[in-house]
């Protein structure tokens, strides 16, 4: 059972590499087996349809972007306020930049969602829940920033990370300065 | 000659549709001919290599995102300030949303730039010049916002438009409200 879960995660990680390095159109069961080094047919055994494969990739992307519990524990013990909120945003950007394949794979899936309703459906539930969790977290933790601010940070951080992981603007801003500027301005 | 230019633009428009509806990996000379309804070999006659095709698409995307001269004239005659700058941003968002294929094609090319240095090169010069032009325009026109603010608006607007053209967050924000919130907060 554990063995199966490990194999499943390894196949999903291979799918993430395929998305990041070949784009959404390159994502096939065969490409996943090739990237994972598994015999042909393995990916199909785990994920019967392309929709199953996409759902597994969305789940795995979520796992790989999960905060480090040690970082969260440190932040949770500080006095809530703008500075702590800023550190949460910095930690999100750090995670997105540290794992470029995961972040690029997510952008690929989101673009694919504009073309394929099944992909849009797979993303919708996950994104809805993440967004609601973020809003609830800020409220419960007494952090500044409600739904509007969290949406604005989503947009700005997505655009910043998209820029930095592709062909970056020559704007002279280092990524930490950009995040600091966003935090200081977007919070009420 | 004019005929040639029209054909060239029509082929580039077909390439933009291919990028938006099939992704960067679907972009081949053959797919462009199929989308344009031209005999096979036509796209190759106009754009000898894939790099030539990409360069033509970048140029055509720039043309199709060019501001409407009537809108620019109206804005130019108003007293420069935060409100006018906000209206420029609103006009940019309006253009990006009005022509989803162009905007999605640009995101596809930017993701492809993370994988292919030739695509990164084709985008780099165009993006560098656009960014410098934006900064120079604001300075000359006496509008608020320097290089830092223009970079922040690039990130936030990219993220907002990416969200709205793919699988949008259920954040209850209408796009005009989101733009207003960004303008009121990101300007110094």
Of all residues in chain A, the one with the smallest CA distance to B178 is: A152
Indicate whether A172 and A131 sit together in one domain. Answer: yes
Closest C-alpha among A25, A2, A170, A9 to residue A102: A9
Indicate whether B72 and B29 sit together in one domain. Answer: no
pTM: 0.96
Q: Rounded to the nearest 10 degrees, how much is the dihedral formed by the CA atoms of B10, B12, B18, B21? A: -80
Number of C-beta neighbours around residue A18 at 10 A? 24
Burial of A119 (0-12, 13-18, 19+ CB in 10 A): buried
Indicate whether B111 and B167 sit together in one domain. Answer: yes
Tell me whether residues B182 and A152 touch, CB distance under 8 A.
Answer: yes
Total number of domains constituting chain B: 2
Domain that holds residue A76: 66-186
Beta strands in chain B (DSSP E): none
Closest C-alpha among A175, B137, A176 to residue B145: B137
Give the domain CATH number at A50: 1.10.10.60
Note the pLDDT tens digit of each residue in B110-160: 999 999 999 999 999 999 999 999 999 999 999 999 999 999 999 999 999
Which chain B residues contact residue A110 at CB under 8 A? 162, 166-167
Indicate whether A98 and A182 sit together in one domain. Answer: yes
Closest C-alpha among B126, B120, B94, B110 to residue B23: B110
Closest C-alpha among A85, A93, A178, A134 to residue B186: A178
Tell me whether residues B154 and A163 touch, CB distance under 8 A.
Answer: yes
Mean pLDDT of B100-108: 98
Residue with the two structure tokens 């036509």: B42
Indicate whether A84 and A101 sit together in one domain. Answer: yes
Indicate whether A105 and A23 sit together in one domain. Answer: no
Chain A interface includes B2 (CB < 8 A):
no
Of all residues in chain A, the one with the smallest CA distance to B120 is: A167
Residue at a domain's end among A28, A57, A86: A57
Residue A3: pLDDT band (50, 70, 90) is: confident
Indicate whether A111 and A176 sit together in one domain. Answer: yes
Residue at a domain's end among A35, A57, A79: A57
Indicate whether A51 and A131 sit together in one domain. Answer: no
Indicate whether B163 and B94 sit together in one domain. Answer: yes
Chain B interface includes A129 (CB < 8 A):
no
Note the pLDDT tens digit of each residue in B6-44: 999 999 999 999 999 999 999 999 999 999 999 999 999
Task: Provide the number of CB pairs (under 8 Å) joining chain A to chain B.
Answer: 158
Of all residues in chain A, the one with the smallest CA distance to B135 is: A171
Number of C-beta neighbours around residue A164 at 10 A? 19
Indicate whether A53 and A110 sit together in one domain. Answer: no
Residue A83, SS3 per DSSP:
helix
Chain B interface includes A135 (CB < 8 A):
no
Which residue among A123, A162, A178 sits closest to B158, beta carbon to beta carbon? Answer: A162
Indicate whether A52 and A131 sit together in one domain. Answer: no
Indicate whether A118 and A182 sit together in one domain. Answer: yes
Residue at a domain's end among A57, A75, A94: A57
Query: DSSP string covering A100-150, please?
Result: HHHHHHHHHHHHHHTT-HHHHHHHHHHHHHHHHHHHHHHHHHT-S--HHHH
């Amino acid at each position: 059972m554990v063995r199966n879960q490990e194999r499943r995660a390894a196949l999903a990680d291979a799918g993430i590499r395929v998305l990041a390095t070949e784009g959404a159109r390159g994502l096939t069961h065969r490409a996943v087996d090739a990237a994972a080094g598994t015999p042909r047919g393995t990916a199909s055994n785990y994920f019967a349809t392309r929709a199953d494969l996409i759902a597994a990739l969305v789940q795995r992307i979520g796992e790989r972007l999960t905060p480090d519990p040690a970082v969260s524990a440190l932040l949770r013990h500080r006095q809530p306020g703008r500075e702590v909120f800023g550190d949460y945003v910095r930690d999100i950007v750090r995670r997105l930049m540290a794992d470029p394949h995961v972040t690029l794979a997510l952008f690929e899936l989101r673009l694919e969602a504009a073309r394929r309703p099944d992909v849009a459906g797979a993303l919708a539930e996950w994104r809805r829940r993440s967004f609601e969790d973020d809003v609830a977290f800020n409220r419960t933790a007494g952090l500044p920033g409600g739904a509007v601010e969290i949406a604005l940070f989503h947009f700005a951080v997505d655009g910043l990370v998209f820029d930095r992981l592709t062909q970056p603007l020559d704007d002279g801003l280092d990524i930490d300065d950009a995040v600091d500027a966003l935090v200081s301005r977007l919070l009420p």
